[in-house]
Structure 1
Amino acid sequence: MRHYRWGVPALVAAAGYGAVVAVAAAVAAARGDIGFLWRLTLFAEVNEDVTAVWPNALVLLAAGGLWGWALWQGLRGPVAGRPPVTDRGVLRLRVAFYATAGSWMACAVAPAWPWWAVVIDSLIMSALVVLFHPVLRRTVGFTGLALAAGLLSNTSTAAVEVFDVLDWREARRVADMPDLSALAGLIWTALVFLTQWRDGRWRRATVGYGIASLVAPLVLLLMAVPLEIAGISGGVHVSAITAADALSVIWLARSAHELTDPSASLAPVAPSGPPPAQASG
């Protein structure tokens, strides 16, 4: 059984949140008011047309359970024990992963951000792109593509916000390219998943959380009709998709934890060319 550096505080926080969610569900069932449970699990004001029926409450309970699991995964820290000797680049990358996880969590709790907060978030993500670059170069390659895609995805968002504040309309129009930015972000993320899969420091489950964070919203959208037939309001289903952000938080936090896992080790670098021929005789 693994022991984690901050396992006890993380367990207390996750269990406390889960208990409050359970109480909110009971209140919703008793009073017919789902507002508190909605705010507690989706971090937004409730849709007025949503009723406090059990199918809707179960969806919100599932969202709360996912966020409770994210609290545990994020706050528990790395595995207890002496961490391996690492250089400053690895330590900076770990900080960048933690900062990005915190930024994703803040975005979920407070979806509406001022322009300067969006810029800070973009800078944090850009730092992660740059600091992950040496790991990606060592393991996968495609370094130019990965760096360009990652920076394009994040700096374009910040540029749009800054140009909007400065009222530079033409510059904003050029920088506003959501489709290209989304594609670039997907390319960078896929290369990161591939790197983590091949690198010996990250567990398969961590990569699985990352992949699930991309797939889960699509699956939930495809399940809209069956869920409505089951009695779940469309407003609940659509809003609950945002809870998939918890999977991104888990992936980022675990990525940071496992960089200094005492049991982890780097995978050998794959040779760039064919193996040398053996001497005969």
Structure 2
Amino acid sequence: MAASAFLALTVGSVILSLAIGTATPAWVVTMWYPPDEIVGTCPPVPVLGGLLLLGLVKSWTLWQVLRGPALRAAPTWGAAAWLRLLLYANAVWLLIPSFLPGPIETIIGWALWVPALVLLVVVVTGSGRPFRLVLLLLGLVEPARSLTYGLADAAVEPRLFVSPAYQVTAMAAALATFVMTVMLLLAQRRDGRWSRVTLLIGLGTFASGFLVELVDSLTRGGTIESIAAAMDVLSIVWLARTAHELNREPSRKAPLRVPTAVMAAAVLPLLMVVGPEGGPRLSYTWRSDGPMECWGRREPPRVADIPAHERDRAYLCSVRKPDRDVSDQELLGMGRGACARFAAGEPVKARPALLALLCPEVVARRHPDLMLSSAQMERQQAEKENVQREELAREARKEDALCRDPWPALRTRFQATASYYDWDAQPYGIYDPKADTEDDSGALWTGDPPETVATRGSLALIFTPSQDWATCVTAKALSSAPPPLRRKGWDKVVEADIVSESGHLRMQTLSASRVRFPDLARRGPGRYRLRLYTRPGVDLILVYPAGRAA
């Protein structure tokens, strides 16, 4: 009568919802709690169709829960009586929605189910003690896990859910629950009190759980998921039918042994959880890699820089083109075929640096330099550059030794001579090392190109004629003005002013032999006069304090 009344009420609420254009009345009657906001944004017809189907299922569930016990075939007393009471209490608790906090709901649920499980293990017959002990231990795994993590500190809870230990524990608890359910159904079948329909409904609890997960993964929004979750009532029906048929006479057959199917169900998920020792190393593609896995590079990486198990991937990253849809295996096959032709001395289109990633032992016979790492190449390049610098320094010392002071009569302790090669028609300079000469340099280069010397502020640039031999440059720092201009023997003699703000004027390093010129500002900060004597192959520079008239 209650099931029929609920079904009639459900149909009436659906008709009312269709009339007024909202699913709220049908939702409240069928789901037993107010709808969320998302229900109002969904089309009403699909929602009402799901609610009508849910009403039919709930009416059947109510009929299974509320009908009386089976025809009495054996007296029910003691543990069996308490078991029936707890089973019905579990069914009612799962059937009626609860709005209590999550931890409280979990505690109440386990407080009802754990005693029922213990009594069910005690009441069931036809199973040996080891079997029932294993069944009980597996059934207590999930309650123990939920209670442990439920008592955890609220600040630690977010970290627990993402930790590997929590994931492994949840997987082990799910596996234990699965095996426990299978063993419980086998024990019911062996006992003989429960009908085939009850056992089939117990097996259907797996299918209902998978159905909810499937609907949740294929749909978006909370409406369809809520209806699918509410239709997960087979476990409630199984509890009610188990309590309903508990007063039947057990068959009391021989003790139940653990069937092979149970062992397979317990071992197979473990084999699925335990992964291989290493990931697959043959099938990868640039499409599935992260943005930094296969970045575009002009040259392939050196084989010595790549671990052996990553060389196939590096080869694919180097040869794959986004506009060519070629499988990884085909690319690797073509590369190994090129390695075989390369070993036989046949011409191949692939570069040896690429083939070295697939067959380094073959490429090393003809190109041993490709087997060097980047660090070794850098050391070799640094050694080569050091040898070149030493050679240039030796040649520069020879050129410096050939240079002579063009005005030996004008001696000073602050002078130096060095050779300067003007290969690219670049000037050499005199500057204040502590002054900002960037603007002065820009102004000198953007102006009209000078013929010999150009000065601005604290910078002077000396331009010598482009030639294929070294220019001997002599610079002398004087404390006073030199003798009058001597033009004999020189092509040009020019003068210009230069300012030293810090009291220092430095000649740039000219020769590869690293000859150091002295400080050309003898009198500290102030204005200085720079006089340049020049002829092919020889420059003479005199720097002295400028007079007041200058």
Would you call these one fold, judging by a TM-score over 0.5?
Answer: yes
Cα RMSD for the two superposed structures:
3.2
Cα deviation 1:101-123 (Å, max 9, x = unaligned): 122123xx126534233212112
What is aligned with 1:208? Answer: 200
Cα distance in 2, alignment partners of residues 269 and 64 from structure 1: 41
5+ residue gaps, structure 1: 1-10, 274-281
Pick the aligned partner of 2:228 from 224, 241, 244: 241
Contact 2:125 2:252 survives alignment (8 Å)? no
* Equivalent residue runs for 1:17-96 within 5 Å: 17-44=6-33, 45-46=35-36, 47=38, 48-53=40-45, 55-79=46-70, 81-82=71-72, 84-96=74-86
SS at match of 1:142: helix
Cα distance in 2, alignment partners of residues 168 and 224 from structure 1: 28
What is aligned with 2:109? Answer: 121
What is aligned with 1:14? Answer: 3
SS at match of 1:245: coil
What is aligned with 1:4? Answer: none
Larger helix fraction of residues:
1
What is aligned with 1:279? Answer: none
Contact 2:185 2:199 survives alignment (8 Å)? yes
TM-score w.r.t. structure 2 length? 0.41
What is aligned with 1:162? Answer: 151
TM-score w.r.t. structure 1 length? 0.75
What is aligned with 1:131? Answer: 119
Contact 1:210 1:247 survives alignment (8 Å)? yes
Pick the aligned partner of 1:101 from 91, 104, 126: 91
Cα deviation 1:163-198 (Å, max 9, x = unaligned): 457x7869x787884333222222211111111222
Cα distance in 2, alignment partners of residues 31 and 158 from structure 1: 46
Count of matched residue pairs: 249
* Equivalent residue runs for 1:247-266 within 5 Å: 247-260=234-247, 264-266=248-250
Q: CA deviation at 1:162?
A: 3.2
Q: CA deviation at 1:213?
A: 2.3
Larger strand fraction of residues:
2
Contact 1:122 1:155 survives alignment (8 Å)? no
Cα deviation 1:201-245 (Å, max 9, x = unaligned): 1111111222222202424654789x98xxxx8644322211233
Q: 1:19 to 1:169 in 2, by over 3 A?
A: closer
Cα distance in 1, alignment partners of residues 32 and 256 from structure 2: 48
Cα distance in 2, alignment partners of residues 248 and 185 from structure 1: 14
Q: 1:24 to 1:169 in 2, by over 3 A?
A: closer
Contact 2:198 2:241 survives alignment (8 Å)? yes
Contact 2:188 2:194 survives alignment (8 Å)? yes
* Identical-pair percentage: 28
5+ residue gaps, structure 2: 258-550
* Equivalent residue runs for 1:173-252 within 5 Å: 177-219=169-211, 222=214, 235-252=222-239
Q: 1:245 to 1:222 in 2, by over 3 A?
A: closer
The answer to whether structure 1 residue 145 and structure 2 residue 139 are counterparts is: no
Contact 1:41 1:60 survives alignment (8 Å)? yes
SS at match of 1:154: helix
User: Which sits farther off after the overlay, 132-141 or 113-122?
Assistant: 132-141
